[in-house]
Amino acid sequence: MINEFEPLLFTVTVCDGTKNFLSTTGNSEIQYNLMKTRYNNCDIVMGNLEITMMDHTRDFSFLESIKEVTGYILFAINEFSRLPLHHLRIIRGSTLYEDQYALAVMVNYQRDGEHGLQELGLTHLTEILRGGVKIIQNKYLSYAPQVNWLDISCSFTLHIVNNIRNFKVKNLICIYGTVLVSRQVFTSVDSLTVTKTVCAPQCSGRCFGRNPSECCHVECAGGCTGPKDTDCFACRNFNNSGSCVPQCPQTVIYNRLTYRMEPNPNAKYQYGSICVTQCPKIFVVDGSSCVSNCPSNKMEVEKNGVKTCEPCKGLCPKGISCRSNSSSLYRYLTALLLLTVSFSSFFFPSLPWHKLD
């Protein structure tokens, strides 16, 4: 499913990710067509990007538009040579593969042939907010060492083994001013282009130059082109019409003149990492957020065409969610009443119980 939002300064297309792990949907042709429909012209993948069991004849140019993945990325058991994720800036890692990895690239080569993954294509990836990297058993992969892994993060688990010529990252060192990657394949140590480890000490995050005045805004993720919150490559928290902010405009605000909380005419809802004026149709409004369904202590109510989560009135029966529809609740209460009547009739037959239809 694709949702397109048009805030004041930018247009972003959002698509749903998957959670199939290494399982497939139908045959290879069906799986490929489903992926193409899902991700074509997509900017942000809400969830996980999973590409598995694809042969070398497949064209994945439809992935080129993706700039952000909120979950993890899994590429496994494929035969094609390159992943065209040239515009991918950030992997958020809200969900992790094997509860540990934000990026997993595994066993991408043809067992009895010459085809396989040769380049990751992650030429603009500059931030992984949560989770590690696992790149194993890719027979023809030689591009992995060119990615600035330590500038992306110096604190994640990095597992890169059994790739081209037994490529293995032997030593990874974070040093102020540069990133050093010592490799078995190459005799020299390369200095990589970075946006974090070369920054002045005054910068709390990333930078666009070495000077103290060339720090990115604190809400930026992955780097920037200038100091403002509109110069970010990606947002650490939320994107509000092109500006990176710590939270979206809340639904109620404090009026200092009346000393009251009042509705905010400029309110927006949190949808992943985006601030939107209205939630997608399949989502429900819960406070200031778009959620897939209401929590157990709330029920779904539709007002003026908008589905919202409202607190339950009174206690819900044990084992029954408040968001269940009224007919389910009626059936539960009726069954409970019948059980009570049957129990009482058995032990107290002389009492005048009424028959229930």
264-303 pLDDT, tens digit each:
999 999 999 999 999 998 899 999 999 999 998 999 999 8
Task: Determine the pLDDT at residue 24.
Answer: 76
| Domain-located, residue 291 | no
pLDDT higher than threshold 70 for residue 155: no
At 9, the pLDDT band (50, 70, 90 cuts) reads: very low
Domain boundary among 176, 196, 217: 176
The C-alpha atoms of residue 335 and residue 329 are separated, in whole angstroms, by 10
Of 188-202, 236-250, 252-266, 294-308, the poorest mean pLDDT is in: 188-202
Tell me, yes or no, whether 82 lies in a domain: yes
Residue 143 in domain? yes
**Sheet strands (E) in 216-266:** 220-224, 232-235, 238-240, 243-245, 252-255, 260-263
Contacts 24+ apart (CB under 8 A), 249-254: 249/275, 250/288, 251/287, 251/288
In a domain, 246, yes or no: no
Strand partners, 311: 298
Query: Mean pLDDT: which of 121-130, 158-167, 230-239 is highest?
Result: 230-239
Q: What CATH number corresponds to the domain at position 94?
A: 3.80.20.20
Q: Is 51 left (phi over 0), alpha (psi -120 to 50) or beta?
A: beta
pLDDT tier, 146 (very low <50, low <70, confident <90, very high otherwise) = low
Q: Domain containing 104: what range?
A: 2-176
Last residue of a domain, one of 128, 159, 176: 176
pLDDT of residue 182: 31
Is position 154 within any domain? yes
Instruction: Provide the pairing of β-strand 298-303 with 306-311.
Output: antiparallel
The mean pLDDT value for 76-95 works out to: 92
pLDDT tens-place string over residues 55-66: 999 999 999 999
| CA angle (171, 172, 178) in 5-degree steps | 130
Alpha-carbon radius of gyration of the chain: 26
pLDDT above 80 for 257: yes
Contact 298, 322 (CB under 8 A): yes
The answer on pLDDT for 145 being more than 60 is no
Question: Which range, of 19-28, 99-108, 330-339, averages the lowest pLDDT?
Answer: 330-339
Q: Please answer whether residues 144 and 160 qualify as being in contact, where contact means their C-beta atoms are separated by less than 8 angstroms.
A: yes
pLDDT band of 122, cuts 50, 70, 90: confident
**Count of domains forming the chain:** 2
- Phi–psi pair at 33, nearest 5 degrees: -65, -35
Residue at which a domain ends, from 147, 176, 205: 176
For position 150, what pLDDT does the model report?
Answer: 76
Residue 313 CA to residue 355 CA, distance in Å, equals 30
In a domain? residue 210? no
Domain assignment of residue 160, yes or no: yes
Q: How large is the average pLDDT for residues 172-177?
A: 36
| Burial (CB count <10 Å: 0-12, 13-18, 19+), residue 128 | buried
Segment 329-347, tens digit of pLDDT: 444 444 444 444 444 444 4
Q: Are strands 2-5 and 12-16 parallel, antiparallel or unpaired?
A: antiparallel
In a domain, 72, yes or no: yes
Q: What are the respective helix, strand and coil percentages of the chain, to the nearest 5?
A: 15, 30, 55
Residue 192 has pLDDT above 80, yes or no: no
- What mean pLDDT comes out for the span 249-272? 94
